[in-house]
Amino acid sequence: MRIEYSKRFVKKYKKCPANIQRAFKIRLNLLLKNKYHPLLNNHALSGILQNYRSINITGDWRALFQEFDNGSTIYFAVLGTQSKLYK
């Protein structure tokens, strides 16, 4: 599986606290092993974000991504708190 990141995602990742960065790495490894592990709460979004999926990083932090090439490429677009992402 190939993982790609948007510039926006990388910028936010670098600015977020170290504990969130560690949590993302752990969740990414979990995603690579099992896309639908219950801890991830991997789900499709609706409305203007209907082309994206979301996974839980922590209780409040989420990572939004898209899947391409029948799921063989995952493109992380946005990282942030739930309240900031879903305004």
pLDDT digits (tens, 9 = 90+) for 24-63: 999 999 999 999 999 999 999 999 999 999 999 999 999 9
Domain assignments of the chain as residue spans, ordered by start: 2-80
pLDDT at 79: 97
pTM: 0.93
* Distance in angstroms (rounded) separating the CA atoms of residues 63 and 31: 12
Closest alpha carbon to 51 in 72, 36, 66: 66
Contact present, 60 and 44 (Cβ < 8 Å): no
Closest CA to 41 of 20, 21, 61, 16: 61
The CATH class given to the 2-80 domain equals alpha beta
pLDDT (0 to 100) of residue 20: 97
How far apart, in Å, are the Cα atoms of 79 and each of 14, 20, 69, 82?
11, 10, 22, 9
Kindly report the backbone phi and psi dihedral angles of residue 71, in degrees, each rounded to the nearest multiple of 5, phi listed first. 85, 0
Query: What pLDDT score does 86 carry?
Result: 77
